[in-house]
Amino acid sequence: MTSRPLVDPELIAFIEAFPTVNIGAENLAAVRQSRDAALAQLPPFPASVRVEEVFIPGPKGAPDVRLKLYRKKDGAEGPRPAILHLHGGGYIMGNPEFMGPMCALWADAYDAVVVAPAYRIAPETAFPGNVEDAYAALAWANARAADLGIDTARIAVAGESAGGGLAASLALLVRDRGEYSFCHQQLIFPMIDDRTAVRADLSPMFGEFVWTNASNHFGWASLLGQPPGSPDVSPYAAAARAESLAGLPPTFISTGALDLFTEENLEYARRLMAEGVPVELHVYPGAPHAYMQMAGARVTRAYMRDALSALARGLGVDWKD
């Protein structure tokens, strides 16, 4: 059984241009190289945005964390909102440059300070290296808030795929440590439940294209250093493992109806709502994982409208499309 007849006709070219590959130890280096080569095809940033590369102190005993910093050149002098952005890549690849155009758009449209760390990835660094790197970036942004012009009461966390999963886990860690706070979390088809990788009852309508459950299994095993589905997985690695989601910030969750993560995302949204967290949830028909790379598709335009509006509300900024 195939989900191909359900794919939005405007996204057929996308799934044909990016043939699905099951990622494992034998081809990870080649896949990383291919993804990095695609950076040359990214569109230019708005001339109104200044982009800097900064190295900040990492977690105790760990290397410095490289991050990209996006700010509007003629932005307000007073405190501005900020977004901590965490890139995707299945926890095993990727870097902050991949979503550079979106980070620059946020900085320009919202007059926001966008902090995008290059957190350590697996299997070279297993959990908790990734979430501690993200926490270090948040700590740095708070410590430098006066210099950067950041309003610490208006810091959102955002991410796509593994970055969305890491954002959700970081929000849990921030809630539990009680040192800092997020005003909003923006979770785009987040990778939040390692147990999906070992489900025998998962419908074939989910995850046929782009990011398969075979790749998912490898990504989770690499991050956790043990088989996914094990009984002792930390919620700071897989947010769906959290016993309680109470006290988390208002949340925007979106996914595609054909995404591998659809069911875990729906369940996470349900649990958030049941525990009193404001949630805006969108499921886009005919959309596989990472469908937004097809920028001109109507479903992508709908997602962009919804996501930009939700993030603006979460940050408390006046923004119109």
If you write DSSP's letter for every residue of 211-274 in order, what string do you get?
A: S-HHHHHHHHHHHHSS-TT-TT--TTTSGGG-S--TTPPPEEEEEETT-TTHHHHHHHHHHHHH
- How many Å separate Cα 93 from the centre of its chain? 13
Q: Alpha-carbon distance 132 to 170, whole Å?
A: 8
pLDDT in tens, 168-183: 999 999 999 999 999 9
pLDDT band at 78; cut points 50, 70, 90: confident
Q: CB under 8 Å to 319, separation ≥6 — which residues?
A: 109, 110, 308, 309, 312
pLDDT in tens, 243-300: 999 999 999 999 999 999 999 999 999 999 999 999 999 999 999 999 999 999 999 9
Task: Confirm if 278 and 307 have CB atoms less than 8 A apart.
Answer: no
What pTM, to 2 d.p., does this model score? 0.97
pLDDT in tens, 284-304: 999 999 999 999 999 999 999
pLDDT more than 70, % of the chain: 100
Domains, the chain, ordered by start: 4-315 (3.40.50.1820)
pLDDT in tens, 193-208: 999 999 999 999 999 9
Q: Alpha-carbon distance 230 to 195, whole Å?
A: 8
